[in-house]
Every structure is written in C-alpha cells, then in structure tokens.
Structure 1
Amino acid sequence: MPTELRRAFRALISVSDKTGLVGFAQGLAGLGIELVSTGGTRKALAEAGLAVRDVTDLTGFPELLDGRVKTLHPKVHGGLLAIRENPEHEAAILAHGIAPIDLLVVNLYPFEATIGRGADFADCIENIDIGGPAMIRGAAKNFRDVAVVVDVEDYGLVLEELKAQGGATGLDLRQKLAQKAFARTAAYDAMISNWLANEIGEPAPAYRAFGGKLAASLRYGENPHQTAAFYHSPERRYGVATARQVQGKQLSYNNVGDTDAAFELIAEFDPLRTAAVAIIKHANPCGVAEAATLREAYELALRCDPVSAFGGIIALNRRLDAEAAAEIVKIFTEVIIAPDADEDAIAIVATKKNLRLLLTGGLPDPRAAALAYRPVAGGMLVQSRDNAVVDDMDLRIATKRPPSEAEWRDLKFAFRVAKHVKSNAIVYAKGGATVGIGAGQMSRVDSSRIAAMKAAEAAKALGLAESLAKGSVVASDAFFPFADGLLAAAEAGATAVIQPGGSVRDDEIVKAADAAGLAMVMTGVRHFRH
C-alpha cells in the first residue's frame, strides 16, 4: 500500500447532529472498521443493530461531571496524535495500551442553534463543546495518519474513498478534511467569543474572530479577475442567506451585495402598515416607494429613475403577488427578493428564465443589534450595525414653520431611505415615493444637485413640465456644513428638510431655511454609509 494511503481500522464517532449517522456507520462497519462511540451516539448506533464499543471501554475511565469529561483522556488523544511508523510513538502507545484511532467523526454541540433560539446564559454555556474541538484539532494536526470528518455532507465522500481504496483514505482527502476541521473549530470558537463579548458588554475585545460556512462558490468577484465565494455567518437574519432561489441563474458576487442592500432597505417599511418596493443599482437605491399595493409601490419607485432601474434589484416587503409580478417583468431585472410569493406570481416570473427569484421566509429586523465588519490592509474594522430607526428618534422642529402632516410622513419616509444611500446622500421624496436621489458624492451640494437633476429627468420622461422635486421634502444623511446644499434643495422645489443637525453652523442653516420658508426637522442621528 502506498505510504499516502492509511487503512482505517478504528473509528471514533461522537456527533450531536445524527443526520445520516446510521447509514454512514453501517458503511464503515461493512468495511471491517471497529466503531467506538459515546453517549447518545453509541445508543443510536446500538439501536440500529451495529456492534459499537463504548469510549469508556477504550479509556477504562467513566464519564465524569455530567458528561463534561468523557473523551478528554490520553487513550483518546494518544490514539489520535500518535504518528504511525514513528518508533518512539509506537513504543509509547504499546507501553500504555493505547489503541490507534484512524478515523474521527465529530460534529459539535449545537451552540449556534442554542443562542439562535434565545436560550438562557447557563444553557448556552452548557452547549459549548470542549472535548469535540480538542479531538478535532488533534486528529487534524495528525492528518498524515488520521482522517477527521466534521460535516455530515462529507459522509458520502469519505465512504466512497474508503470503498475505492479497500478501507483506506488518501493523503489528499485527509488534508482537505483537516483544513475544514480547523476552519470549523475556528468558526465555532469565533461564535462563542463574540456571543460572550456581547453578554458581558465588551465592545472591543482584545481579539476578534469571525467565521462562516460556504454557501456557494461564485464564478468571480466584483470583476472577472477576482475570485469569490459566499459564506453564511452564524447570525440568523432573513435575507440572501436564508433565501430559497426559486429560479434563475446563479447569483453573482455583485448580485449578492446589491440584493442584500435592497432587502435591508425594504425592511425599514413595516409590511403591516404599507406595501413597499425598493429598486437598487450598484448598492444604491434608484427608486423607493410605499403604497396600498405592491404594484402601485413598484410603479412609483420605477418612476423615480427608470433608466437606472434597468438591470436592477427589486426588493419587496410583502408577499409577491401576480399584479406586481406582471409589472416587474416588463423590464429587464436581475433579481427579485421578497419574503414569499403567490403561485401565480411565481408562474409569471418563470416566463423570464434568467430572472432570479429569492424568497427569504421573512424580513430582517432593522432594530436588531449585530456586528458589521470590513477588511482593511493589515486589519479589520468592526462596528455595531446601524440599527437606528427614524420612528424611534427624538425629532426636533428647528424652524419657525413646522412641517405639515403630509410633509411629516414624507420626511420620515425620506430619512428611512437616506439611511441606505451611500454618503454623501440626498433624497427627495413626495407622496411616499422618492423623486430624486443623489448618492456617493464628495460634496453634499453635488449630491443635492444630482438628486434635483434626476427629479427633473424623471418629470421629462413622464411628459411633465415641472420637476418631480417641486413640493417635495428632502433628507440628508448628515448635517449641512454650509447653507449652499440646503439652498440647492430649496431651488429644486423642496418645502421641508430632515437632517441630523450638529454642525457649528446650525444657526446659519436654520436662518437660511426660515428665509426660504422651509420647515426643518433635526433627528440628532447621522446615517453615514461609506
């Protein structure tokens, strides 16, 4: 037998997730591999009629401390870490009666699921696996002699190799399994450490780690010369990661990013209050609206910038219905994402075979606390997610004239949208719909002028003589450092303004607003989005 092949004579199996367990173990036993197991795993195998040895027989030591100590023993770790064909190691295991373990099958206590269901602190602590990660790391370190399986999805692959190689595994497979094993324990420990930091109120721990599981390998990244993949994080949040793709081409790197941006924006709109639709292009909204129905909301959102909407991402806050679907498919769209869809709507979308339809099962909570992170050269930036919602803010009227009831509604609407526009952000809105959006400019004045230009172009496309910005309100993601940006909005036709305030020139800005007859509301909350 070539040295790269290692015959498996003994397998230690200890799994929390019993999916596929019996079939896999039956395959191992059929190849003459001795089965050793623990607790519930051993019971499940024995009940299936398999000959299985209890780990306490292997160690000669009983389980202790309510099962906290069962595999933490030299006869387990010695069996995993002993280097075959090393005379000193061979002599040591013979002297101490240690039986080599050639195959380790472990999946960990369900810590992620435990915190996901909101378990109490003590329950979460008890679901931190200790023996499992220790065994996994030992077996992975000794990959030249031991195969380690941490993922039920690998059972078939491992069994296929064992059958093909007469009960042996090849070095290439063992190396790949070892890499996955180390990544699994790293992701598991990252989840625990981040959870504990949050529990004890530590916003900046000395070490930070993040992990995830591969969801899909992507054809390329933002550009064809870049490699890319999509990973699921342990956080349970409705969106692309939870979505069922009903139809359409594989998602690209840019599709995933843009679709996430679209769905996070639309989650700002309570579906019990109103239907809402957002159209996203290059991670920025080019049209957002709310109305009595999804179809009406879509038509209003599309009106804002129909040119940019071509090839965009459509996000809805309610179940996609046939009326909305029939309108959406009239122009080329990359992705539709919604909590759910009617069968008639799914059939309509199916007429466009390349159009991707994602159904998430729910909306993310815009108020939920979580971490957001971004790599930089030589490090990583970590911050809490922007979960500030305009409905919860202490809004202050800064001008002599207060907003009218209609202006109040539109001001809140516009500020919801501005939160999801790249800075510097300016959003014009009227009647529950955006009418002009200026995004990502170095100057707030330029953003305001671009938004006004978009409003004028949209009016022209509708055959209207007057810009859609006439009689609108305007939202700014950050304060106006000078009055020029504010005055540009007034010139475009805005009648009311919402902005964070906090500039050293706030008094000057308020005076300019009063002089122009504008109503101004200050939120005290900034929404930079870089």
Structure 2
Amino acid sequence: MKKRVLISVSNKHGIVEFAKGLVNLGYEIVSTGGTLKTLQNEGVPVIAIDQLTGFPEILDGRVKTLHPKVHGGLLAKRSNADHMKQMEENNIEPIDMVVVNLYPFKQTLETEGVTKEEIIENIDIGGPTMLRSAAKNFADVLVVVDPNDYSSILDRLETEAINLEYRQQLAAKVFRHTAHYDAIIANYFLNQTGETFPETYTVTYEKVQSLRYGENPHQDAAFYANPIQQGMSLATAKQLHGKELSYNNIQDANAAVEILAEYSGPTAVAVKHMNPCGIGMGDSIVDAFQLAYDADSISIFGGIVALNREVDSQTAEKLSKIFLEIVIAPSFSEKALEILTRKKNIRLLTMDMDRKDEASYKLTTVDGGVLIQSKDTGSITEESLEIVTERAPSEEELQNLLFAWKAVKHVKSNAIVLAKDYQTVGVGAGQMNRVGAAKIAIEQAGEKAIGAVMASDAFFPMPDTVEEAIKAGIKAIIQPGGSKRDQDSIDVCNQHGIAMVCTGMRHFKH
C-alpha cells in the first residue's frame, strides 16, 4: 500500500519541490484549496480532500479537513488491533504524514488598514487541529510544520533515518508552533476586550539569536522578541556593523533606548550598567553628544550611546575618539558610517525612534513565577507640578527640573540626578539610602553642582538630603512629595531660598 501524505500550507515556499520529492519516494498526496491548485499547476499528482472525505469543502473553506476520514487516519494507533479494525469498518485509510502551516494571523494583524473581519478569518482552525492530531500520534504519523525541515526530511526518508526520536522532535516543534500561534490570537482578543490581568497570562516570543553567554560566561542565554512589535524597540533594530550583541549589550542598549524615548529635542544618552552616566540635550545632535560626554567622561568608556537624530560626520568624529560598545541612532550619514566603521568591533544600530503609546507590560521573573506590571509611562507637565516653597523656580530652573525628572525615572533606586543647562552633571544610583545617592551625585558634579537642580525618584523622609543639596549650591529640587515629614524639607528650603516642586508621582526602579 502506498503511503499517504496530507499537504495543506499557507506558506507555499518550497512545497512543490518537497511534494515532488515525496512522490518520487512513493507517497500519495492529498491536498486542499490553494495548495491543491499550486501542486496541480506544477504537474504534481494530487488527490483533492473532498475525494478522500466524500464531503465538499463548505462555509468558504472554514470546513474542509474537520472530518473522521482525516482525523481517524491521523489518530489511529497502528499497533492497536481494535483501532485498525474500526478503521477498516469505517472505510478510513491511514495518513502517514501531515505537512501543514497555518493561516498568516500574525502577518494579517500587522497589515495596515486590516479589518476585524479579515483578522478573524485568518484564525486557522483545521490546520492546528490536524497538526495536533498528527503530533499526538507521532509514533505513527510524521508531522511537518516548518518549511526549513523539508530538505532534511527528504534526506532522512531516502536513507530510512526517520526514527522515533526524530519523530518526537518534529512533534515537539508542532506543539511549540501551535502554542505560539494561539498565544498571539489570545493576546489579540485580550487587547480587544481591554482586560489587564486575566486568570491566566499567556506570552510568546520568537527567537532572534543565540548569545555566547548571559551576564557571565558560565550562564547560557538567548534573545527572543515579541512577535508583534510596535514603535520604538530594540528587537526591531538593524545592526549595520560590529560584533554580535551580548546579553549585557542588549540590556544596556534597551535601557538607553527607554531613556531616549523621554526626550523630543536633539538628545544623546550614555549608559553604563543600565544606568545613565550622561544625558545631554542641545540645539544639534553633536552638541547633545558633547554634553552627554562631558557629563561623565570617565564612565562613558566602554558604554553605550543612543541618539535621537541622524549621526552626522561631526558627531561621528567625536564618537570615534572614545571606546564605545554600541551606538544607536535612527540613521547614520554616509560619511559618519565611513568614519565609525574604521573601528572593527563597534556595534552600529539603527532603529525606528517613533515611540507608540500602546499599553505594554513588563515581566520580571522570580523563582517559580513571574511579576507583571504595566510599564512606567507616567509623565508630568508644568501644570501638574505643585510649588511647595515660598520661592517658585525660574523658567530656566523649571525646564531643567523637568529634564532631570525624566532622567531620574531611569536610574536605579534610590536615585538622585543633578542637572544644569540640559545636561546631567551628577548621578547617584542604586544606593541603600537617599542621602548616600545625593552625596555620590554631588561629588561627581563637583563645582557644576552650584546653580544646578536636583531630582529625586522618591520623597525625602527627612531633610538630610535637602541639607546636602544646599551645601552643594543646588538652587531647585523636584521630588514626588508624600512623606509625613515633607514640611521639614520644605522648611529647610525656605530658610535658604531654594525652590521645591512636587510631582505627586514617584519612579522607583528596582
């Protein structure tokens, strides 16, 4: 008896060559819809699915393979005499191989101007059902979901190297594939219904690349991306030059991009170990980079720089003079690329800098579980600030307070940022107490602290941080407020003519 294969694919790439190879190996092919026509047009002998089932395709193709003669042929255990007897009694023939890939739901979802009706029609029902049936019975049915496997399967069939282990590997790939497919659909409906934290939370990612190692050489790692990308995302960045990205590179680059998204004017962000070591905003991108560099010319060594304007030759010359792991920008001029690619190992990345505001979530793993929260997209305006001191900040101070507030949001808590003339001049990150973070930022700033402004990611539980600021020459402070002892800090500011504004919003970052 000839072996039988059922082929029904949305992605037709390589299917004709694969089908011809199967025919040469003695397989009888059954097919459906568009796949049937493709194979017939290429002269491949093929049987229509309705000849097998004795039932026509109906409901605009919604029902064509959901039939006992299909699923009986897939699910029957060949070693079970009772199964085989029932097959014979019901005139069902075994199907030995299934080659299926699914309606392009993800691609449909990403199509501009797509309607809800088109999205719904691209939810595959018959395909996943056949795949799951075949994968469940992998010992008897070879199941193929990935066109990249066609060549190796033909080679193995020719040499009779299809063993149980390989069958199980293909089945495992199927269940990963259908789980991924269903997760994208589930998340589409989750977005449509507006639910935030449902009873189960399904996530799925697609592998971008294997990494040489994780944070340390003894750790394994890989980079996966959200299959539905929108707006500003490192996962969609294009690498133009340099070595492969490492785990730590990706972490740091993502931090730089998230900070950069806060600013609209020409801005440069330098990041080291996921904290900003320098942020500058200027009239041009070269001015912005110079400010970011001057903010901390020591820590930027071996760091990552992200810029929100095209890198021109003037900026490239400055970038090329220091050791940087990565430079990220929306684009590089031809001359800038010529300059920067002289450095063999520097990674140059371009990415879309247009940030979308769709709701998104941040996942953090803990042993045995995961924490999920909405991303910290909280922002403030001049109008939302509360001036709590006798002296109001000047317009220049106010703009620098807002600049510093955007920066401190991305610094590990406890966090203090000093800024002056749209440049961070001191960053105190990740300290166990707030006054300690302030002392680090003030020490880094040195004389630049005089006349600068201070941003704190959370309130002052006591006035000691404010007292350090006054000693350093700070002229204005922005902080969330909300401490039972807010008035103590306000009183100290009033005694020294310091302006303080409260945001009513904190930015802890653990």
In the alignment, the residues of structure 1 paired with residue 2 and residue 192 of structure 2 have an alpha-carbon distance, to the nearest angstrom, of 43
Per the TM alignment, residue 240 of structure 1 is displaced from its structure 2 partner at its CA by: 2.4
In the alignment, the residues of structure 2 paired with residue 395 and residue 142 of structure 1 have an alpha-carbon distance, to the nearest angstrom, of 64
After superposition, the Cα gap between the structure-2 partners of 1:286 and 1:55, relative to the gap in structure 1 and judged at 3 Å, is same
Q: Is the 8 A contact 1:268 1:366 kept in 2?
A: no
Per the TM alignment, residue 196 of structure 1 is displaced from its structure 2 partner at its CA by: 2.1
1:26-81 deviation line (CA, Å, top 9, x unaligned) = 44344343332222222333333333322222222222333222222222222222
In the alignment, the residues of structure 2 paired with residue 71 and residue 223 of structure 1 have an alpha-carbon distance, to the nearest angstrom, of 50
User: What residue identity is the alignment partner of 1:146?
Assistant: V
> Is 2:196 aligned against 1:206?
no
User: What residue identity is the alignment partner of 2:127?
Assistant: G
Per the TM alignment, residue 393 of structure 1 is displaced from its structure 2 partner at its CA by: 7.6
* Secondary structure, counterpart of 2:187 in structure 1: helix
* Secondary structure, counterpart of 2:279 in structure 1: strand
Per the TM alignment, residue 324 of structure 1 is displaced from its structure 2 partner at its CA by: 1.7
Per the TM alignment, residue 287 of structure 1 is displaced from its structure 2 partner at its CA by: 0.9
Give the equivalent residue in structure 2 for 1:293: 284
The equivalent position to 1:332 in structure 2, one of 317, 323, 326, is 323
> Is 2:266 aligned against 1:280?
no
After superposition, the Cα gap between the structure-2 partners of 1:120 and 1:221, relative to the gap in structure 1 and judged at 3 Å, is same
In the alignment, the residues of structure 2 paired with residue 221 and residue 338 of structure 1 have an alpha-carbon distance, to the nearest angstrom, of 25
In the alignment, the residues of structure 1 paired with residue 472 and residue 108 of structure 2 have an alpha-carbon distance, to the nearest angstrom, of 53
- Which range moves more in the overlay, 348-357 or 13-22? 13-22
Give the equivalent residue in structure 2 for 1:461: none
User: What residue identity is the alignment partner of 1:126?
Assistant: E
Give the equivalent residue in structure 2 for 1:187: 180
* Secondary structure, counterpart of 2:342 in structure 1: coil
Per the TM alignment, residue 391 of structure 1 is displaced from its structure 2 partner at its CA by: 4.7
1:354-400 deviation line (CA, Å, top 9, x unaligned) = 1111222x025263311211111221111111122335982232222
> Is 2:10 aligned against 1:16?
yes
User: What residue identity is the alignment partner of 2:339?
Assistant: I
How many residues align? The count is 508
User: What residue identity is the alignment partner of 1:139?
Assistant: A
> Is 2:45 aligned against 1:65?
no
User: What residue identity is the alignment partner of 1:130?
Assistant: I
In the alignment, the residues of structure 1 paired with residue 165 and residue 132 of structure 2 have an alpha-carbon distance, to the nearest angstrom, of 18
> Is 2:215 aligned against 1:235?
no
After superposition, the Cα gap between the structure-2 partners of 1:522 and 1:378, relative to the gap in structure 1 and judged at 3 Å, is same
Per the TM alignment, residue 236 of structure 1 is displaced from its structure 2 partner at its CA by: 0.5
* Secondary structure, counterpart of 1:260 in structure 2: helix
Per the TM alignment, residue 207 of structure 1 is displaced from its structure 2 partner at its CA by: 0.8
In the alignment, the residues of structure 2 paired with residue 56 and residue 491 of structure 1 have an alpha-carbon distance, to the nearest angstrom, of 86
**Runs of 5+ consecutive residues of structure 2 not aligned to the other structure:** none
* Secondary structure, counterpart of 1:372 in structure 2: strand
The equivalent position to 1:144 in structure 2, one of 125, 139, 143, is 139
Per the TM alignment, residue 147 of structure 1 is displaced from its structure 2 partner at its CA by: 2.7
> Is 2:365 aligned against 1:375?
yes
User: What residue identity is the alignment partner of 1:395?
Assistant: L
Give the equivalent residue in structure 2 for 1:522: 502
Give the equivalent residue in structure 2 for 1:155: 150
In the alignment, the residues of structure 2 paired with residue 101 and residue 187 of structure 1 have an alpha-carbon distance, to the nearest angstrom, of 25
Per the TM alignment, residue 230 of structure 1 is displaced from its structure 2 partner at its CA by: 1.0
- Which range moves more in the overlay, 172-181 or 438-447? 172-181
1:89-108 deviation line (CA, Å, top 9, x unaligned) = 33232332323233322222
In the alignment, the residues of structure 1 paired with residue 487 and residue 71 of structure 2 have an alpha-carbon distance, to the nearest angstrom, of 71
Give the equivalent residue in structure 2 for 1:349: 340
> Is 2:446 aligned against 1:480?
no
User: What residue identity is the alignment partner of 2:410?
Assistant: H
In the alignment, the residues of structure 1 paired with residue 278 and residue 482 of structure 2 have an alpha-carbon distance, to the nearest angstrom, of 28
Q: Is the 8 A contact 1:102 1:145 kept in 2?
A: yes
**Runs of 5+ consecutive residues of structure 1 not aligned to the other structure:** 1-6, 457-466
Per the TM alignment, residue 11 of structure 1 is displaced from its structure 2 partner at its CA by: 2.6
> Is 2:257 aligned against 1:267?
no
Give the equivalent residue in structure 1 for 2:470: 490
- Which range moves more in the overlay, 204-213 or 185-194? 185-194
Give the equivalent residue in structure 2 for 1:462: none
1:204-237 deviation line (CA, Å, top 9, x unaligned) = 2111121111111112111122111111212304
* Secondary structure, counterpart of 2:464 in structure 1: helix
In the alignment, the residues of structure 1 paired with residue 339 and residue 41 of structure 2 have an alpha-carbon distance, to the nearest angstrom, of 50
Q: Is the 8 A contact 1:264 1:364 kept in 2?
A: no
In the alignment, the residues of structure 2 paired with residue 390 and residue 48 of structure 1 have an alpha-carbon distance, to the nearest angstrom, of 63
Cα RMSD (Å) of the superposition? 2.4
Per the TM alignment, residue 122 of structure 1 is displaced from its structure 2 partner at its CA by: 4.1
Alignment of 1:109-128 (within 5 A): 109-117=103-111, 119-128=114-123
Give the equivalent residue in structure 1 for 2:124: 129
After superposition, the Cα gap between the structure-2 partners of 1:331 and 1:85, relative to the gap in structure 1 and judged at 3 Å, is same
1:430-475 deviation line (CA, Å, top 9, x unaligned) = 111111111111211111111112212xxxxxxxxxx222211121
User: What residue identity is the alignment partner of 2:496?
Assistant: A
In the alignment, the residues of structure 2 paired with residue 234 and residue 367 of structure 1 have an alpha-carbon distance, to the nearest angstrom, of 18
The equivalent position to 2:489 in structure 1, one of 474, 484, 509, is 509
After superposition, the Cα gap between the structure-2 partners of 1:52 and 1:430, relative to the gap in structure 1 and judged at 3 Å, is farther
After superposition, the Cα gap between the structure-2 partners of 1:253 and 1:63, relative to the gap in structure 1 and judged at 3 Å, is same
> Is 2:410 aligned against 1:420?
yes
> Is 2:88 aligned against 1:94?
yes
Per the TM alignment, residue 8 of structure 1 is displaced from its structure 2 partner at its CA by: 9.4
* Secondary structure, counterpart of 1:11 in structure 2: strand
TM-score between both structures, scaled by the size of structure 1: 0.89
Give the equivalent residue in structure 2 for 1:217: 210
User: What residue identity is the alignment partner of 2:474?
Assistant: A
Q: Is the 8 A contact 1:8 1:169 kept in 2?
A: no
Q: Is the 8 A contact 1:311 1:332 kept in 2?
A: yes
- Which range moves more in the overlay, 89-98 or 216-225? 89-98
* Secondary structure, counterpart of 1:390 in structure 2: coil
Identity %: 50
In the alignment, the residues of structure 2 paired with residue 115 and residue 487 of structure 1 have an alpha-carbon distance, to the nearest angstrom, of 55
